[in-house]
Structure 1
Amino acid sequence: MKKISQITPHSVGTKAYNLHLIQKDGLRVPTFSVFSFDLFQSEEVQDFFTKQQEQYDNGEYSLDEFSQVLQEMVIDFFSREDFQVIDTFQSEQIGKEFSVRSSANVEDAAAASFAGQFTTKLFVPVSDLVAAIQASLLSLYQPSALSYYFDHQLTVGEVQLYVIVQEMIQGELSGVYFTANPQGLLNEHLIVVGEGVGSGIVEDRVATTMVTIHPEEQLSYFETTDQSPIITNEQQHLLTQMATQIMTLFGPYMDIEFTFRENELYVLQARPITKMSPEPSVILDNSNIVESYPVTTTPLTFSFIQEAYSSIFRGLAKRLLKNDEKTLAAFEPTFQQMIAQSNSRVYYQINNWYKLLQLLPFSKKVIPIWQEMLGVQTPQITDSVQISKFTHLKIMGRMMKSFVQAPSEMQQLEREFDQIFAYFNQNYHANASFDELYELFEQIKDQILAKWDVTLVNDLYAFIYTGILKKVHSTEAVQAEIAGIEQIESMKPVIELNKIIASIQKIENQDYRSLIQQLKSTDVQEFLVTNEHSLTKSIQQFILLFGDRAPEELKLETPTFRSQPQRLIQLIQQQLTLPIGTTVVEKPTTTHRTNFVLRWMRKRALLGIKYRESSRLNRTRIYGMMRLIFVTMGERLVEQKCLQQLDDVFYLTMSELFTLSKTQQAMQAEINQRKQKHLVDRQLPAFSRFVFTNQPFEKYPQNINQESVGNMTAQLQGIGCSQGIVRGQIIVVEDVQQMDVQQTYGKIIVTKMTDPGWVYLLTQAKGIIAEKGSLLSHTAIISRELGIPAVVNVQQATRQFKTNDWVEIDGQTGRIRRLKGENDKSELDDYSSKTK
């Protein structure tokens, strides 16, 4: 054996070299030495490896036999090593304890981490170093490690081991810092911490806390389990500083082990997160859309706006592509996913917006303007569907025609919308049957969506002319003029309400004012129907025209003046307590240009903005009509006892709502679960952007910021840590020593915890459920490497399940569903087809 004095990329394994660089960069690393073995330089050993590999490849050995042969050889050659360097080391370190870790030449690579494959020994007395080093060396040839080599096209002769002998740090708090979510979220950091040294956390012996951080937004939250520890602000700051430093050294996506001793932070090791694609696949961004759908949104609202966005953008594409069915078909997945929902919040699927924007003529000029107007902070343009130059020319002509005609088309759309609005008010009535309401919904929806794509053209019209104005004139002046025009429609409700309040304030209406001030919320509905005063009719007219304009008005679950007129009366009562004159809205002044070109540009910009504002108000009315239809449908469902209470309707999707009256499917348990999840989602920070390497996934936090959110429902829930959905029969493992792979073959293992020795059972299993665990536990690490679904942190799992029970587990969301049994096939097959 030799102690390596000059550490270079080629003289030691990746783990040791990384520690060297981290220490060199000024971070605190426990004192360590690296040792090499003479046996790897022996031709005799290499010849032996080659011969034995050939015999194994020819089927002369089983994997266990191959492992035994190699380990016996290694024991023999290890005994011939020169241990003088270890003897010297021991004499210099009397009384100390060490950790002994592997540093193989194939370890800690981005493509294969070898996590959990090699033996680490902690709290090793100096007198036991040789035995610990031998154990680390022998683990190089244990069956699980050999299987891992062959899965990654390696032979035993290619693998060499160096050993790290490191001062043992008895930390009070230890954990792992992931500089990306290993499930595939690139712009999210995770810290998992527990009390004591890291082995207790990885082996699921202690309760852990997970801290989620979005560094760019400086937002974070933590989830606790049992009596898990909470890191202080100072500790979190030290950890994020350390992570930034390590990312600078090695790259953006790192897995960093650390410990705190007496408030001093030590880095134990750092390696790339394996199987993490560095390229984003889906980017969710709430720029602009968060204004329409702030905070959280219910399933009914999201399903409606998803269909609306899909239809409108499909209409825009048809406007540009006409009868080009092939290109339209290529874009169909894009139309279906213009928006997405993550933890009850609405986002643009920004990739798909760029795809469609690239259809437009002069897209390289248009896109930056669009980004600026919508407030997109991080441009990340993806490739569009390829189309021919001839098609591009035709699109250019059609777009320019639509652009010129946008004001006249918007004017026509307003006239048609007025007719639709009048039709709704004539045909809607609170006692309508469910079928009548559905027919009204379809009529209104089809008429509105048929031509609403022109609003997108008008948005672009307004964006481009305003963008040009900002190029040729001062930003402040342009903003002032835009603000002036915006109030034409946006301020109409306020102006009209102020007129009502001013009239109520008049001396001749003193009795009416007294009546309004004393009116109770419970009496408002009857008052508005029976009172004949002209001001009451003004209030009724206000509700008809502007009753849908309210905070969060585009969320169907939001109460408005139309759905709850007592809110308007309460507002009037509050306004009446103010001094006269304080509610007057002054019309802003605007500047007028003398330059003809600037006047023309200004006129175009303000015209586009004018119609944009009017379409927004009409959009609010659309949502008001839909809200009335859906709420009334909810009333019918409550009457049919399909729903327990009216608010439950908002936790159905549109398709569920429309079919529930006929199928009367039992949905209350699912509704209750969605309600609970919605409450939990509201506690999460409102992150503005998610960058996924694959499809977006939901978070299912259980304890946020030490606040318990209670039981999610009867459906079991844990932490998903390895993606995939699997269904199968359970085997409860109380004693792993009594198990073999035949017993676990094709089963879903349920246990308290796992360690690296479980790898063979897991390779034969369909999935695993564990009572303990986190994203960095062996259960999680090995399951991800093997590609089998895993759910950890499931309380009392070994007591809640019995061997031979049937379940479905989702390793992404952490959800577990009980099944009736093997004969539950038709439902499962149908569910499977929907989830593909």
Structure 2
Amino acid sequence: MNVIGLDRVDAGMVGTVGGKAAGLGEMIASGERVPPGFCLTAEAHASGTVPADELAAAYERLGGGPVAVRSSATAEDLPDASFAGQQDTVLDVRGDAALVEAVRRCWASMDSERAVAYREAAGIDRADTHMAVVVQRMVDATVAGVLFTADPLTGSRSRMVVDAAPGPGTAVVDGSVTPDHHVLVDGEPAAAIEGGCLTAARLEELRAAGRRLAEHFGSPQDVEWAYDADGVLWLLQSRPITTLFPLPPDTGKPGPRLYLEVGHMQGMLRPFTPMGMDCLTRIWVRWCSLHGIEVDPREGASLLTPVGGRLYLDLTDAMRSAPVRGRLPQAMEIYGPRVRRAIEHLLDDPGFAPRPGLPFAPGPALRLAARILPTTVAHIAATIARPERARARVARALRDFRNQPRPGPEATAAERFAFVSEDAYAPILGAPMMAVIWPTFAGIILGTLPSALLHGVASADELDAVLGGMPHNVTTEMDLALWRVAGNADDHRALFLGTDPAELTDLYRRGALPDIGLADFLDVYGHRAAAEVDIGVPRWAEDPSPLFATIANYLRVDDPDQAPDRRFDEAALRARRTISELSLRGRARRPVRGRIASFAMRRSRQLTGSRELAKFSWLIPFAEMRRQLLLIGEDLVRRGPLERADDVMFLTLDEVRAAVHEGADHRSLVTARRAVHDREVRRPSVPALLMSDGTDVEAILPRPETEEGTLPGTPAAAGRATGRARVVRDPSGAHVEPGEILVAPTTDPGWTPLFMTAAGLVTETGSPVAHGPTVAREYGIPAVICVRDATREIRTGQVITIDGTAGTVTVESDGPTRPGRGR
């Protein structure tokens, strides 16, 4: 079958007729007014021959005359790829010969440069895509345009956007005219523009059509429309708006609601796997239960909300609390100036008008504080007084984490599941974790105390220098250990520099690589990885490819002054000198504060590095949980409910239980969730503040004024550096030349090995106390964080200057320069 009428097409035929035709068929079936037409199916494209006779016959049945010929690819209008404007449309086609030529033109556009680039960016295989062609009777339009049933710029589902211009509408789509622009807000009547081409009545008609289409297709729509000379509205096309971030779930609580994305504080902007989100939420729920906080396990914690695979914190009650809301902007400073500005903006929103009372029940909070505060104060004080004893307790706790009882090789899937769902949480929530928590808290307090005590006495650069080259930090120890492994690889430079990391991993697994000490490194650090807080992400022990890529980076360091161990030692020496200088200056100007600050700075050298311990520790049993889940997955593959062992990471624990104990088949569910996850992995940006109607709050704020070529951010590690940018969105296999400036969406400890060859760091998110900036300060490299759209505004190879004190990034040029770093 090569030709089929649009009135016989439905959504189930998308593989034959493509997304555009399938959408038109659905619109016709739902009663919308669509120009009549037919579809030349993808089967004809697969054969490569235009069936001219069939086309002519269908054209004649349509009544001849002018028609529009539109591409309709079988990959078009997928949930994350609309192909809008990527393939050809030919208008006002008349006659059989012109129709055949228009079809050939549509077919050819499938391999145009822009279409190829779009498929590559969307991860769509050319072999999986074919081209159908839609032929429709032309509408003699007096006015036409596009309707978005949600605001494509802000994400708001409470606003529709209409662009309109006189004529056929192609000028609106191709951007060659400035159209009339209308925003239709829910609950507000439409208003015409004086001298515009749409009346208020027509705007309301378009709004009603948009609502019907969004409801029918189950998602916000991008609609092309036209009014003919008789004033009749025709709907020419409807496709999903694929760029919108998902809506928060409807909790049934009064709106509007405001959500803060918190995963990036752990370097986690990519989406969690379903198992990763489930396990992390269960840890939080168990912690709350352990401390007498009532939580509905079905919702996770009442404040935590998964959206688009990311973790959001519900700030609504705090925004509405009269005693709390005024302090929120300052509290949000840790998330960067953009978040603070957004919070300040929303404080004037009537939807967040202040109400009396606190955002939490004071009784349980006071009881919790009374129970844990004395113990917390006592343990932190003891840790500060005797740091060497605290470190000895940490060492014992780490042994407990590593020696945790676990199911043996002969364990059944049911026994492994019991471990993952119950026993594995014991060290994470028990005594071993407590032994690690106190040095972590003490380290954070000591690291921040001097800035308060020496305000007006010490500069930001000096306070950052105090934190440089910090000992006892498991993350910097890890990076330096990998540097030593790279030193062992120096005798085999050609092998490690000239072989793909994936191939090196295969050689390593087969025991065919020279022994460079990697096995010993993995014994200690193999439970780590980028995005490691997601249990669904492979650990380095499973896939050491990122480590081989980093080893190759280290082998390219040919300047002794750029050697990471030397840079770390220099930062430590500078820290000790700065502490001595500040101690003398502080005592001279403020005797009491100066002495306290001097003690805090010197003691911080023994404890502040411990701030990384808590995460390092609980990831040890977390990695064991992952290993047991994969073994369960292997069992389920043998029994049939799963296709692959790692499919288990796209289920929740309750779903795994059903598969293990009841044989529930989850293969189709996993396929659907993998598709959603893959789509979210490709998402270029994630809202930091999200409203319940989908509005990205930052998108409605005016951009701050800055000098041309300068991108504002937040200071995170003092100093200046000029060098070529290296934009990296995923650290796996990333390549950073010595002296380049790393530009990334976010960072966590899995990224930090890249720091050791970088001259500086720029990230789109983060906090000065997060892992990435902390490690940057310890290496003595400048860092600027919270630079909006940094990975899109900056291109690899551009020369940039970062000022970690001012918090700015300046794009200098695209020309050559000698990369370097400085302070």
Given the two structures, how large is their TM-score scaled by the length of structure 2? 0.46
